[in-house]
Amino acid sequence: MGKIRIENCEIEGLRVIVPEVFGDERGYFMETYRYDQFFEAGIRDTFVQDNQSSSTRGVLRGMHYQIQYPQSKLVRVLKGRVFDVAVDLRAGSRTFGKWFGVELSSENKKMFYIPKGFAHGFLVLSDTAEFAYKCDDFYHPGDDGGLRFNDPMLGIEWPREVRIDELNVNERDRNWPSFAEFSQRGSISGK
Protein backbone atom coordinates (compact mmCIF):
# COMPACT_ATOMS: atom_id res chain seq x y z
CA MET A 1 0.00 0.00 0.00
CA GLY A 2 1.64 3.25 1.13
CA LYS A 3 5.27 4.01 1.66
CA ILE A 4 6.22 5.42 5.03
CA ARG A 5 9.10 7.95 4.85
CA ILE A 6 11.45 7.64 7.82
CA GLU A 7 13.80 10.60 8.34
CA ASN A 8 16.92 10.63 10.51
CA CYS A 9 17.30 13.49 12.98
CA GLU A 10 20.36 15.42 14.18
CA ILE A 11 20.54 13.09 17.18
CA GLU A 12 21.39 9.51 16.26
CA GLY A 13 18.52 7.09 16.82
CA LEU A 14 15.68 9.61 16.72
CA ARG A 15 13.43 9.42 13.65
CA VAL A 16 10.59 11.53 12.26
CA ILE A 17 8.12 9.36 10.37
CA VAL A 18 5.93 10.77 7.60
CA PRO A 19 3.23 8.41 6.31
CA GLU A 20 1.83 8.58 2.81
CA VAL A 21 -1.77 9.83 3.07
CA PHE A 22 -4.41 8.81 0.53
CA GLY A 23 -7.32 11.25 0.60
CA ASP A 24 -10.45 12.07 -1.34
CA GLU A 25 -13.79 13.75 -0.69
CA ARG A 26 -14.70 10.96 1.78
CA GLY A 27 -11.67 11.45 4.04
CA TYR A 28 -8.26 9.77 4.14
CA PHE A 29 -6.38 6.51 4.73
CA MET A 30 -2.80 5.99 5.88
CA GLU A 31 -0.63 3.24 7.30
CA THR A 32 0.79 4.30 10.64
CA TYR A 33 3.02 1.31 11.24
CA ARG A 34 4.64 -1.28 8.95
CA TYR A 35 7.06 -3.64 10.62
CA ASP A 36 8.97 -4.31 7.39
CA GLN A 37 9.53 -0.63 6.58
CA PHE A 38 10.46 0.22 10.16
CA PHE A 39 12.82 -2.77 10.33
CA GLU A 40 14.51 -1.68 7.09
CA ALA A 41 15.06 1.77 8.65
CA GLY A 42 16.69 0.25 11.75
CA ILE A 43 13.66 0.44 14.07
CA ARG A 44 13.46 -3.12 15.32
CA ASP A 45 11.39 -2.80 18.47
CA THR A 46 8.48 -5.07 19.25
CA PHE A 47 5.78 -2.79 20.63
CA VAL A 48 3.80 -4.33 23.50
CA GLN A 49 1.68 -1.48 24.91
CA ASP A 50 -0.34 1.36 23.37
CA ASN A 51 -1.22 4.47 25.39
CA GLN A 52 -3.42 7.48 24.68
CA SER A 53 -3.90 10.77 26.51
CA SER A 54 -5.98 13.89 26.11
CA SER A 55 -4.76 17.31 27.24
CA THR A 56 -5.73 20.96 26.92
CA ARG A 57 -3.71 23.94 25.64
CA GLY A 58 -0.64 24.70 27.72
CA VAL A 59 -0.35 21.26 29.32
CA LEU A 60 3.30 20.26 29.46
CA ARG A 61 4.04 16.62 30.25
CA GLY A 62 7.65 15.61 30.81
CA MET A 63 10.51 15.17 30.70
CA HIS A 64 9.98 11.47 31.55
CA TYR A 65 11.96 8.25 31.27
CA GLN A 66 11.97 4.79 32.86
CA ILE A 67 15.02 4.04 35.01
CA GLN A 68 15.46 0.24 35.10
CA TYR A 69 13.08 -0.58 32.24
CA PRO A 70 13.74 2.01 29.53
CA GLN A 71 11.18 2.22 26.74
CA SER A 72 11.34 2.98 23.05
CA LYS A 73 8.28 4.95 21.93
CA LEU A 74 6.51 5.71 18.68
CA VAL A 75 4.35 8.81 19.28
CA ARG A 76 1.76 10.67 17.23
CA VAL A 77 -1.10 13.14 17.57
CA LEU A 78 -4.63 12.04 16.67
CA LYS A 79 -6.24 15.45 17.24
CA GLY A 80 -4.67 18.89 17.69
CA ARG A 81 -1.00 19.94 17.84
CA VAL A 82 1.90 19.35 20.22
CA PHE A 83 5.58 20.20 20.34
CA ASP A 84 7.29 16.91 21.15
CA VAL A 85 10.81 16.74 22.63
CA ALA A 86 13.41 14.05 23.34
CA VAL A 87 16.62 14.55 25.36
CA ASP A 88 19.56 12.17 24.88
CA LEU A 89 20.49 10.49 28.19
CA ARG A 90 22.50 7.58 26.76
CA ALA A 91 25.81 6.77 28.42
CA GLY A 92 28.72 7.58 26.11
CA SER A 93 26.59 9.27 23.45
CA ARG A 94 28.29 12.17 21.64
CA THR A 95 24.95 14.03 21.91
CA PHE A 96 24.43 13.34 25.64
CA GLY A 97 22.27 16.13 27.07
CA LYS A 98 21.17 17.45 23.66
CA TRP A 99 17.51 17.78 22.73
CA PHE A 100 15.47 17.57 19.54
CA GLY A 101 11.91 18.78 19.06
CA VAL A 102 9.29 18.39 16.35
CA GLU A 103 5.71 19.58 15.92
CA LEU A 104 3.28 16.70 15.63
CA SER A 105 -0.30 17.35 14.58
CA SER A 106 -3.43 15.79 13.18
CA GLU A 107 -2.76 17.94 10.11
CA ASN A 108 0.86 16.96 9.35
CA LYS A 109 0.33 13.36 10.56
CA LYS A 110 4.03 13.05 11.45
CA MET A 111 5.17 10.54 14.04
CA PHE A 112 8.26 10.59 16.22
CA TYR A 113 10.33 7.54 17.13
CA ILE A 114 12.26 7.83 20.40
CA PRO A 115 14.57 4.89 21.25
CA LYS A 116 15.54 3.74 24.73
CA GLY A 117 17.84 6.13 26.56
CA PHE A 118 15.92 9.37 26.04
CA ALA A 119 13.75 11.56 28.26
CA HIS A 120 10.49 12.52 26.54
CA GLY A 121 7.91 15.27 26.92
CA PHE A 122 5.44 17.41 25.01
CA LEU A 123 3.62 20.75 25.13
CA VAL A 124 0.05 21.08 23.84
CA LEU A 125 -0.25 23.96 21.34
CA SER A 126 -3.92 23.55 20.31
CA ASP A 127 -7.09 23.95 22.41
CA THR A 128 -7.02 20.18 22.99
CA ALA A 129 -4.80 17.35 21.82
CA GLU A 130 -5.15 13.59 21.75
CA PHE A 131 -1.75 11.92 21.91
CA ALA A 132 -1.08 8.23 21.20
CA TYR A 133 2.07 6.19 21.60
CA LYS A 134 3.38 2.67 21.30
CA CYS A 135 5.94 1.37 23.83
CA ASP A 136 8.29 -1.59 23.53
CA ASP A 137 8.07 -2.41 27.25
CA PHE A 138 5.26 -2.28 29.76
CA TYR A 139 4.94 0.59 32.20
CA HIS A 140 6.53 -0.33 35.54
CA PRO A 141 5.08 1.68 38.46
CA GLY A 142 7.80 3.15 40.65
CA ASP A 143 10.38 3.14 37.84
CA ASP A 144 9.72 6.75 36.80
CA GLY A 145 12.49 9.25 36.28
CA GLY A 146 12.46 12.76 34.91
CA LEU A 147 14.27 16.00 34.22
CA ARG A 148 13.10 19.55 34.80
CA PHE A 149 11.43 20.75 31.59
CA ASN A 150 12.75 24.31 31.98
CA ASP A 151 16.32 23.51 33.02
CA PRO A 152 18.56 26.21 31.49
CA MET A 153 21.36 23.67 31.11
CA LEU A 154 19.18 21.68 28.67
CA GLY A 155 17.96 24.86 26.99
CA ILE A 156 14.83 23.34 25.42
CA GLU A 157 13.25 25.99 23.23
CA TRP A 158 9.55 25.48 23.92
CA PRO A 159 7.32 27.34 21.43
CA ARG A 160 6.51 30.87 22.54
CA GLU A 161 2.97 30.67 21.18
CA VAL A 162 2.00 29.26 24.60
CA ARG A 163 2.63 31.99 27.18
CA ILE A 164 4.36 31.14 30.46
CA ASP A 165 1.15 31.98 32.37
CA GLU A 166 -0.72 29.41 30.20
CA LEU A 167 1.59 26.52 31.15
CA ASN A 168 -0.14 23.73 33.05
CA VAL A 169 2.53 21.50 34.62
CA ASN A 170 1.81 19.10 37.46
CA GLU A 171 3.77 19.25 40.71
CA ARG A 172 5.83 16.14 39.98
CA ASP A 173 7.00 17.47 36.59
CA ARG A 174 7.90 20.86 38.13
CA ASN A 175 10.14 19.15 40.69
CA TRP A 176 12.19 16.66 38.70
CA PRO A 177 15.96 17.05 39.21
CA SER A 178 18.05 19.31 37.03
CA PHE A 179 20.24 17.87 34.28
CA ALA A 180 23.33 18.64 36.41
CA GLU A 181 21.90 16.55 39.28
CA PHE A 182 21.05 13.75 36.85
CA SER A 183 24.56 13.89 35.31
CA GLN A 184 26.20 13.51 38.74
CA ARG A 185 24.34 10.20 39.15
CA GLY A 186 25.23 9.00 35.64
CA SER A 187 23.09 8.28 32.63
CA ILE A 188 20.44 5.77 31.64
CA SER A 189 21.22 2.85 29.45
CA GLY A 190 19.90 2.48 25.96
CA LYS A 191 19.63 -1.28 26.46
Active site amino acids: 64, 133
Of the chain, the end-to-end C-alpha distance in Å amounts to 33
C-alpha–C-alpha distance, residues 65 and 14, integer Å: 15
Give the CA angle between residues 141, 53, 66 to the nearest 5°: 30
Q: Which of 32, 27, 68, 62 is nearest to 47 (CA)?
A: 32
CA–CA gap between residue 169 and residue 8 (Å, rounded): 30
